[in-house]
Amino acid sequence: MSRIGKQPIGIPDGVTIDIAGGEVVAKGPKGTLRCSVPEGISAKLEDGNLVFVRPDDSKPSRARHGLARALANNMVVGVSTGFTKRLEIEGVGYRADVKGKVLNLLLGFSHPIDMPIPEGLSVSVEANTKLSIEGADKQQVGQFAADIRSLRPPEPYKGKGVRYEDEHIRRKVGKAGA
Protein backbone atom coordinates (compact mmCIF):
# COMPACT_ATOMS: atom_id res chain seq x y z
CA MET A 1 0.00 0.00 0.00
CA SER A 2 1.01 3.57 -0.53
CA ARG A 3 2.11 4.96 2.80
CA ILE A 4 0.47 8.30 2.13
CA GLY A 5 -2.54 7.07 0.16
CA LYS A 6 -3.74 4.65 2.82
CA GLN A 7 -3.98 7.30 5.56
CA PRO A 8 -7.51 8.66 6.07
CA ILE A 9 -8.07 12.42 6.00
CA GLY A 10 -9.82 13.71 9.10
CA ILE A 11 -12.44 16.32 8.30
CA PRO A 12 -12.44 19.20 10.83
CA ASP A 13 -15.59 20.97 12.05
CA GLY A 14 -16.93 23.54 9.61
CA VAL A 15 -15.63 21.70 6.52
CA THR A 16 -17.93 19.75 4.20
CA ILE A 17 -16.77 17.30 1.53
CA ASP A 18 -18.82 16.43 -1.56
CA ILE A 19 -17.83 13.63 -3.92
CA ALA A 20 -19.50 13.62 -7.33
CA GLY A 21 -18.45 12.55 -10.80
CA GLY A 22 -14.78 11.92 -10.08
CA GLU A 23 -14.36 15.24 -8.32
CA VAL A 24 -13.89 16.14 -4.66
CA VAL A 25 -15.22 19.50 -3.47
CA ALA A 26 -14.21 20.94 -0.09
CA LYS A 27 -16.14 23.86 1.43
CA GLY A 28 -15.00 25.65 4.57
CA PRO A 29 -14.60 29.02 6.23
CA LYS A 30 -11.70 30.04 3.91
CA GLY A 31 -13.55 29.22 0.68
CA THR A 32 -14.31 26.38 -1.71
CA LEU A 33 -11.75 24.22 -3.51
CA ARG A 34 -12.20 21.38 -5.96
CA CYS A 35 -9.94 18.80 -7.54
CA SER A 36 -10.49 15.85 -9.82
CA VAL A 37 -9.65 12.35 -8.61
CA PRO A 38 -7.11 10.59 -10.88
CA GLU A 39 -8.36 7.79 -13.10
CA GLY A 40 -8.74 4.45 -11.32
CA ILE A 41 -8.81 5.93 -7.80
CA SER A 42 -12.09 6.13 -5.90
CA ALA A 43 -12.91 8.43 -2.99
CA LYS A 44 -15.46 7.78 -0.26
CA LEU A 45 -16.49 9.10 3.14
CA GLU A 46 -16.19 6.67 6.06
CA ASP A 47 -16.86 7.62 9.71
CA GLY A 48 -16.18 11.32 9.14
CA ASN A 49 -12.94 10.61 7.26
CA LEU A 50 -12.13 10.88 3.55
CA VAL A 51 -10.55 7.67 2.24
CA PHE A 52 -9.04 6.87 -1.17
CA VAL A 53 -8.99 3.33 -2.59
CA ARG A 54 -7.05 2.02 -5.57
CA PRO A 55 -7.99 -1.00 -7.71
CA ASP A 56 -4.62 -2.81 -7.87
CA ASP A 57 -0.96 -2.57 -6.83
CA SER A 58 0.51 -1.47 -10.16
CA LYS A 59 3.09 1.29 -9.99
CA PRO A 60 0.90 3.96 -11.71
CA SER A 61 -2.01 3.14 -9.38
CA ARG A 62 0.19 3.45 -6.30
CA ALA A 63 1.52 6.82 -7.50
CA ARG A 64 -1.97 8.17 -8.24
CA HIS A 65 -3.22 6.88 -4.88
CA GLY A 66 -0.75 9.01 -2.91
CA LEU A 67 -1.26 11.98 -5.24
CA ALA A 68 -5.04 11.96 -4.79
CA ARG A 69 -4.75 11.81 -1.01
CA ALA A 70 -2.12 14.58 -0.85
CA LEU A 71 -4.16 16.93 -3.05
CA ALA A 72 -7.34 16.30 -1.05
CA ASN A 73 -5.51 16.82 2.25
CA ASN A 74 -4.13 20.15 0.98
CA MET A 75 -7.69 21.17 0.05
CA VAL A 76 -9.06 20.29 3.51
CA VAL A 77 -6.25 22.13 5.30
CA GLY A 78 -6.60 25.09 2.91
CA VAL A 79 -10.34 25.63 3.41
CA SER A 80 -10.06 25.20 7.18
CA THR A 81 -6.85 27.06 8.17
CA GLY A 82 -5.25 28.28 4.91
CA PHE A 83 -1.62 28.47 3.82
CA THR A 84 0.96 31.22 4.31
CA LYS A 85 4.30 31.97 2.65
CA ARG A 86 6.54 34.68 4.02
CA LEU A 87 9.17 36.52 1.97
CA GLU A 88 11.89 38.95 3.00
CA ILE A 89 13.34 41.67 0.80
CA GLU A 90 16.93 42.64 1.50
CA GLY A 91 18.87 45.45 -0.16
CA VAL A 92 19.27 49.21 -0.03
CA GLY A 93 16.17 50.85 -1.50
CA TYR A 94 14.36 47.53 -2.00
CA ARG A 95 10.78 47.64 -0.77
CA ALA A 96 7.23 46.49 -1.38
CA ASP A 97 3.81 48.08 -1.12
CA VAL A 98 0.24 46.89 -1.71
CA LYS A 99 -2.13 49.23 -3.52
CA GLY A 100 -5.57 47.66 -3.87
CA LYS A 101 -5.13 44.40 -5.78
CA VAL A 102 -1.63 45.26 -7.06
CA LEU A 103 1.71 44.50 -5.41
CA ASN A 104 4.24 47.26 -6.15
CA LEU A 105 7.91 46.19 -5.85
CA LEU A 106 11.04 48.31 -5.98
CA LEU A 107 13.92 45.87 -6.48
CA GLY A 108 16.79 47.98 -7.78
CA PHE A 109 15.66 48.12 -11.39
CA SER A 110 15.13 51.41 -13.24
CA HIS A 111 11.37 50.94 -12.94
CA PRO A 112 8.92 49.69 -10.30
CA ILE A 113 7.34 46.27 -10.85
CA ASP A 114 3.55 46.00 -10.51
CA MET A 115 2.24 42.48 -9.98
CA PRO A 116 -1.55 41.90 -9.92
CA ILE A 117 -2.52 39.79 -6.89
CA PRO A 118 -4.41 36.67 -8.05
CA GLU A 119 -8.01 36.12 -6.97
CA GLY A 120 -8.21 34.17 -3.71
CA LEU A 121 -4.89 35.43 -2.34
CA SER A 122 -4.17 38.23 0.09
CA VAL A 123 -0.80 39.94 0.45
CA SER A 124 0.25 42.03 3.42
CA VAL A 125 3.48 44.02 3.85
CA GLU A 126 5.16 44.73 7.18
CA ALA A 127 7.94 47.32 7.50
CA ASN A 128 8.25 47.63 3.68
CA THR A 129 10.48 44.51 3.51
CA LYS A 130 8.45 41.57 4.85
CA LEU A 131 5.74 40.09 2.65
CA SER A 132 3.09 37.62 3.77
CA ILE A 133 1.06 35.76 1.14
CA GLU A 134 -2.06 33.96 2.38
CA GLY A 135 -4.68 31.85 0.65
CA ALA A 136 -6.61 28.59 0.65
CA ASP A 137 -4.94 26.99 -2.40
CA LYS A 138 -1.45 25.74 -1.51
CA GLN A 139 -0.30 25.57 -5.13
CA GLN A 140 -1.46 29.12 -5.88
CA VAL A 141 0.20 30.55 -2.75
CA GLY A 142 3.50 28.80 -3.51
CA GLN A 143 3.47 29.77 -7.19
CA PHE A 144 2.84 33.47 -6.47
CA ALA A 145 5.62 33.47 -3.86
CA ALA A 146 7.99 31.81 -6.36
CA ASP A 147 7.04 34.37 -9.03
CA ILE A 148 7.90 37.23 -6.68
CA ARG A 149 11.19 35.60 -5.67
CA SER A 150 12.16 35.00 -9.31
CA LEU A 151 12.11 38.75 -10.00
CA ARG A 152 15.29 39.24 -7.91
CA PRO A 153 16.65 35.98 -6.43
CA PRO A 154 19.11 36.44 -3.56
CA GLU A 155 22.71 36.77 -4.69
CA PRO A 156 25.54 35.07 -2.77
CA TYR A 157 27.94 38.01 -2.31
CA LYS A 158 25.88 40.65 -0.50
CA GLY A 159 22.67 38.66 0.04
CA LYS A 160 20.54 41.23 -1.78
CA GLY A 161 17.24 40.10 -3.26
CA VAL A 162 13.95 38.43 -2.36
CA ARG A 163 14.08 35.26 -0.29
CA TYR A 164 11.80 33.03 1.73
CA GLU A 165 11.73 33.75 5.46
CA ASP A 166 13.39 30.45 6.43
CA GLU A 167 15.78 30.33 3.46
CA HIS A 168 19.50 30.32 4.20
CA ILE A 169 21.75 31.95 1.60
CA ARG A 170 25.24 30.51 1.42
CA ARG A 171 27.48 33.55 1.27
CA LYS A 172 30.66 33.74 -0.77
CA VAL A 173 33.72 35.84 -0.11
CA GLY A 174 34.52 38.58 -2.62
CA LYS A 175 37.78 39.13 -4.46
CA ALA A 176 40.94 38.66 -2.47
CA GLY A 177 42.37 42.17 -2.01
CA ALA A 178 45.92 42.98 -3.15
For the cut 90, the answer to whether the pLDDT of residue 1 exceeds it is no
Sheet holding 49-53, edge to edge: 9-10, 49-53, 42-46
Domain assignment present for 1: no
Domain assignment present for 50: yes
Across-strand partners of 18?
Answer: 25
For the cut 50, the answer to whether the pLDDT of residue 136 exceeds it is yes
Instruction: Assess whether 65 and 93 both reside in one domain.
Output: no
For the cut 70, the answer to whether the pLDDT of residue 122 exceeds it is yes
Instruction: Assess whether 62 and 76 both reside in one domain.
Output: yes
Instruction: Assess whether 88 and 149 both reside in one domain.
Output: yes
Question: What is residue 99's predicted lDDT score, i.e. its pLDDT?
Answer: 92
Range of the domain at 19: 9-80
Write down the mean pLDDT value for the chain.
90
- This prediction's pTM: 0.87
For the cut 70, the answer to whether the pLDDT of residue 141 exceeds it is yes
Sheet holding 16-20, edge to edge: 16-20, 23-28, 31-36
Q: How many domains is the chain partitioned into structurally?
A: 2
How many other C-beta atoms lie within 10 A of the C-beta of residue 102?
Answer: 12
Instruction: Assess whether 60 and 31 both reside in one domain.
Output: yes
Instruction: Assess whether 94 and 71 both reside in one domain.
Output: no
Instruction: Assess whether 66 and 120 both reside in one domain.
Output: no
Domain boundary at 22, 54, 80, which? 80
Q: What average pLDDT does range 143-153 have in this prediction?
A: 94
Q: What average pLDDT does range 15-38 have in this prediction?
A: 90
- Please state the length of the chain: 178
Question: What is residue 21's predicted lDDT score, i.e. its pLDDT?
Answer: 83
Across-strand partners of 102?
Answer: 99, 116
